[in-house]
Amino acid sequence: MDYKEIYQEWLANPYFDEETKNELKAIADNDSEIKERFYKDLEFGTAGLRGIIGAGINRMNIYVVRRATQGLANYIIKQGGQGKGVAIAYDSRRMSPEFAEEAALTLAANGIKAYKFESLRPTPELSFAVRELGCVAGINITASHNPPEYNGYKVYWEDGAQFTPPHDKGVTEEVLAITDLSTVKTTTREEAEKAGKYEIIGQAIDDKFIGHVMDQVVNQDAIDKMQKDIRIVYTPLHGTGNIPARRALKELGFENVYVVKEQELPDGEFPTVSYPNPEAAEAFALGLKLAKEVDADLVLATDPDADRLGVYVKDMKSGEYIPLTGNMSGSLLCDYVLSQKQAAGKIPSDGQVVKSIVTTNLVDAVAANYGCELIEVLTGFKFIGQQILKNEQTGKGTYLFGLEESYGCLIGTYARDKDAISATVALCEAAAYYKMKGMTLWDAMLAMYEKYGYYKDAVKSIELKGIEGLAKIQEILDTLRNNTPKTIGSYNVVSARDYKLDTIKDMATGEVKPTGLPASNVLYYDLNDGAWLCVRPSGTEPKVKFYYGVKGTSLEDADARSAALGEEVLSMINKML
């Protein structure tokens, strides 16, 4: 059927509720809107679903959620895992509780027990719960830092990480095989509970999760000595982090934690920001105002599902608060954690630091300094989780720290996704440690640059919406793939990696070797003078992203090199548009 026929089917079929039909009737004279909602199914990709909330097959709604859950249930049953159950969490977004309930009821209707959190919870706690409860899978209803009109549906497998091959492909195939939404199974909560297939979870999991977060502390003595002197400003950005972050900080002994009141309570409209993203400066406006009032040492913001953390740190010389990128805060934490473990004699001979391919090379230098193996994985924290699983299965390799540039890291192995609650605790601990030495976190960052080199990393993106946009994004990748550039701006391309074709080509010798990583539509260029560029389509937004890094001789030199490379990359791409 074409999009108009599917639209009419939704209007006519008694399976769809009246509220949905009324929403669709309201766009009856808008062909382009009908087409956008019905020209394709909302893509069930490598992480699950993410899209605008609304009626239609290309939107997030209860029917699309039921279909995704039915596909997951079918796959679980084929894997013989229906006896293990599925954990379900959700965030503060519009329709998140409703989508979580629909997922639970579809699972119950298929004979699979659903363990649903009583109220909103952070993403890392869902990851923890999957393993703690011995579940075969997990579902998290969240759209992370997307604007308010979005929601999403992430699938986790029994190791606690977002699903990877072959499970992602297997579940996707089962979802796509469901062509008639009205055939999806569901039931009532009463019937699900009567059958023993629906259980509410909460405090018991909370207590264990927070316990593991606190176990990652590497220098409690520093906290004990400085707990009255460190001043912390924190905002959950209307999301899930408020209760767990404050609880962990309080139980560890931090006495001066100031929460941004205007952003404290959960609110899916995110009224104080246009974009609830800890990478965005506007997300910190209220926090910085409060920080200046209370003379805070650092300002922390977790995104709505509390897996990513943004941070500003005070520079005592200027009195200003300086933002740290995810690359900077991740490297700072990695160096701090490893330094403390080294001091305690707790870095094993097979210690590992794991990062995504678009993450700063500064962390490579940190890992080398502490004698740790540096492992690169594809973008997506699930691949870091996959490395932890590999270590467990083979008995080789001890995971010590993992990070990706998009403001996410994980210190322990209790969860298998990035954890902003743990990162919040760790940064406050690091602040206490350095303050004990008469240093701020910014001083510590500068000391790292002096020791390892002035690395500067950035990302630019081009947004290309709709059907035409997707085609244009692919055209950019195809053009670069078929015509490898010899130079990018003022840099020479030393080697070119194509993760889709599994090749690394030495541009001087022509030698080709495999990347050793799973296939992914990503291109990466190693440039001279320690610079690099990576091109990849976003997995969650209609964007093509350009990640790049340089190594300078000073902060000013690194800034200048980075700015120049960024402009040169955009100029190169604009010629293709």
Q: What is the pLDDT of residues 147-200, one digit of tens each?
A: 999 999 999 999 999 998 899 999 999 999 999 999 999 999 999 999 999 999
- Please say if the pLDDT value at position 449 is more than 90: yes
Q: Which residues are catalytic?
A: 144
Give me the CATH code for the 211-452 domain, please: 3.40.120.10
CA proximity to 399, closest of 357, 348, 327: 348
- Please say if the pLDDT value at position 577 is more than 80: no
- Whether 257 and 432 have beta carbons less than 8 Å apart is answered as no
| Start and end residues for every CATH 3.40.120.10 domain found in the chain | 40-201, 211-452
Burial class (CB in 10 A: 0-12, 13-18, 19+), 29: exposed
Please compute Rg for the chain using Cα positions. 24
Return the structure tokens found at 161: 């990480």
Q: State residue 385's pLDDT score.
A: 97
Give me the CATH code for the 40-201 domain, please: 3.40.120.10
Given pLDDT bands bounded at 50, 70 and 90, which one contains residue 145? confident
pLDDT tens readout for residues 255-278: 999 999 999 999 999 999 998 999
pLDDT tens readout for residues 375-432: 999 999 999 999 999 999 999 999 999 999 999 999 999 999 999 999 999 999 999 9
State the pTM of this model: 0.94
Question: Rounded mean pLDDT of 436-447?
Answer: 97
Given pLDDT bands bounded at 50, 70 and 90, which one contains residue 250? very high
Name the one residue in this structure whose structure tokens are 């260029």. Answer: 525
- Please say if the pLDDT value at position 369 is more than 80: yes
pLDDT tens readout for residues 44-61: 876 789 999 999 999 999
- Please say if the pLDDT value at position 91 is more than 70: yes
Given pLDDT bands bounded at 50, 70 and 90, which one contains residue 540? low
Helix (H, G, I), strand (E, B) or coil at 164: coil
Give dist(CA 249, CA 167) in Å, integer.
37
Question: Rounded mean pLDDT of 83-101?
Answer: 98
Give dist(CA 508, CA 411) in Å, integer.
39
Strand partners, 467: none
What strand order describes the sheet that includes 373-377? 373-377, 351-356, 398-404, 408-410
Least confident of 29-43, 257-271, 531-545: 531-545
pLDDT tens readout for residues 473-508: 999 999 999 999 999 999 999 999 999 999 999 999
Question: Rounded mean pLDDT of 438-450?
Answer: 97
| Start and end residues for every CATH 3.30.310.50 domain found in the chain | 454-574
Q: State residue 390's pLDDT score.
A: 96
- Whether 431 and 336 have beta carbons less than 8 Å apart is answered as no
Q: State residue 50's pLDDT score.
A: 93
Residues 6+ apart with CB under 8 A from 338: 347, 353, 366, 367, 369, 370, 372, 400, 401
Name the one residue in this structure whose structure tokens are 């939107």. Answer: 59
What H or E segment, with its residue span, contains residue 555? helix 555-574
Give me the CATH code for the 454-574 domain, please: 3.30.310.50
φ and ψ at residue 97, rounded to 5 degrees: -60, -40
Question: Rounded mean pLDDT of 300-325?
Answer: 97
Q: How many CB atoms lie within 10 A of CB 269?
A: 12
- Whether 85 and 77 have beta carbons less than 8 Å apart is answered as no
Q: How many CB atoms lie within 10 A of CB 412?
A: 15
Q: State residue 45's pLDDT score.
A: 75
Question: Rounded mean pLDDT of 97-119?
Answer: 98
Mean pLDDT of the chain: 96
